[in-house]
Amino acid sequence: MKAKFNLETPLGDRLDTIARFSGWYIPDHGRRPELYVACNGKREALLEWGSIRPDVSSVYPSQSQSMISGFQGDVLVGEYEQRPELDVAVCDAAEQDRELFRRRFAVGPYRRPALRDRSFALFDLLVCPECRSSLAKHETDWGCPRCGMSIPLRGGVPHFLQAEGTPCLHLSEQTNTHPYSSEVLDILGRHRAGLVLDFGAGHTPKDLLRPHVVYLDAVQYQWTDLVCTRGRLPFRDQTFDAVVSQAVFEHLQDPHFTARELCRILRPGGLIHLDTAFMQPLHGDPWHFFNMTQHGLRKVMAPFEEICCGIKTYQQPSASLLMQFDAIAPFLTSRTWRNTIAKWRKQLVAGAGEFDECLGEVGRTTLAAGFYFEGRRPQ
């Protein structure tokens, strides 16, 4: 099979400051692609691959990866060097940097991305994640004078990446991620005079931004304060009064290590509140490693003193089953089964509360969509 690639955006031959690259790609090597955009021969930004594309699958039904062939990501153009034209390529690092697309684009004037109000100086909170030394500022990046680690900047946002990593940007993303739960909103309100870390913040709506919250994620959204894909977090010890995290821990390669790191950066008595997946299908952002039972979540959070652990209203088994139905539907080739799933889904939506109630407490714990944990760092 020959690889198939289609770039849908950007349209035309001119790039604005935030340029969206999206389309679909069916590789011929059978592995997960590692797409990136190169500008004038330099790796500039990663593209996330794996979005559901039923339209592509309908054209190439025999290709197993056609259903998940969608990709997207942004490039910040002209931040440090203004040129009238830019040579742009899209490549696949999983296939020896195979070039899939190349074109010269005109470049528009640079417009710095919008900033938000912050009650903290981010640079003062940070250290080198490897050797814990103070960082130094440079024009186009930050760095560690002791071990030589370089931290690239995109729109003033530092990216603490794994070795030889490339920034991943979703600055033009329009869809907001998980809304804050009532418990998280309460924690943010109670710690207005302190400092809170939103670990894995995603794309936070502008009206929910708080000046005392540090927004961290693995990719850069419009309001992200810093990006980190490393296991060791780049914060000084005992920096935060509270940590909140929603739908993140299933995406971590080593959740036990991350829990210890979050305990390290919390002040003694500091609060942590998180929720994570249990009975949920595979989902991205961009990786999905572990779903957790309630016992497993408690084990991961062992560094903390438990306050409470359980199931929230949006983590009930009905939510789990709805997620399964929604995940199944795009892959079904049988119209009969698609109609059956749609019927079941409609029934479940209408009777979700009764469905959850009749399972009983043990049934709800056995089949929950996820669990939450709240605890504090020991004094």
pTM exceeds 0.85, yes or no: yes
Q: Which amino acid is at 187?
A: I
Query: Three-class SS of residue 250?
Result: helix
Domain with CATH 2.60.40.10 in the chain: 4-107
- End-to-end Cα spacing for the chain: 61
pLDDT for the residue 286: 64
What are the φ/ψ torsions at residue 92 (nearest 5 degrees)?
A: -115, 105
pLDDT tens string 101-115? 999 999 999 998 888
Phi, psi (deg, nearest 5) at residue 129: -70, -20
pLDDT tens for 201-246 read 999 999 999 999 999 999 999 999 999 999 999 999 999 999 999 9
Q: Does residue 56 contact residue 24 with C-beta atoms inside 8 Å?
A: yes
The tens digit of pLDDT for each residue in 14-69 reads 999 999 999 999 999 989 999 999 999 999 999 999 999 999 999 999 999 999 99
Among candidates 251, 193, 257, 197, which has minimal Cα distance to 224?
197
- pLDDT-derived band at 284, boundaries 50, 70, 90: confident
Report the C-alpha gap between 256 and 160 in whole angstroms: 20
| Torsion angle defined by CA atoms of residues 126, 230, 279 and 361, in that order, rounded to the nearest 10 degrees | -40
Q: In the chain, where does the domain assigned CATH 3.40.50.150 lie? A: 122-312+369-376
User: What value does the mean pLDDT take over residues 78-91?
Assistant: 92
Cα–Cα distance for residue pair 219/217, rounded to 1 Å: 5
| Residue 63 near residue 25 (C-beta atoms within 8 A) | no
Closest by Cα among 324, 264, 30 to 332: 324
At residue 213, φ and ψ (nearest 5 deg) are -110, 130
Residue 172, SS3 per DSSP: coil
Give 122-312+369-376's CATH code, choosing from 3.40.50.300, 3.90.1150.10, 3.40.30.10, 3.40.50.150. Answer: 3.40.50.150
CATH T-level assignment (fold) for domain 4-107? Immunoglobulin-like (2.60.40)
Going along 164-212, which residue ranges are E strands? Answer: 196-199
Nearest CA-CA partner of 348 in 378, 372, 320: 320
